[in-house]
Amino acid sequence: MSKRWLTYADLQKRYSKTRVTIYRWVRAGILPRPKRLGPNSVGWDEEALDARDAELEDAA
């Protein structure tokens, strides 16, 4: 099974936040850094984000 990569637009829908907020979360370490997928695109591993979300829910 291949990994699913999420774009900024996918994250904006997932978290209902702006691109700027997502960028700030990455800089603050709240979200993992994206991986460069091509010369003009980056993406986040969906499994890593799912694990991160579960971690935050457990901590709450």
- Provide the whole-model pTM: 0.83
Q: What is the mean pLDDT of residues 7-12?
A: 96
Q: Would you say residue 20 has pLDDT above 70?
A: yes
Structure tokens at 25: 């979360």
- Give the model's confidence band at 1: pLDDT under 50 very low, under 70 low, under 90 confident, else very high: low
Q: So where are the chain's domains? A: 5-59
pLDDT (tens digit per residue) in 28-56: 999 999 999 999 999 999 999 999 999 88
pLDDT of residue 25: 95
How far apart (Å, rounded) are the C-alpha atoms in residues 11 and 58?
21
Q: How high does pLDDT run on average in the chain?
A: 92
Which CA distances in Å does 19 have to 3, 30, 35? 22, 14, 16
Nearest alpha-carbon partner for 43 in 2, 20, 10: 10
DSSP 8-state class, residue 29:
T
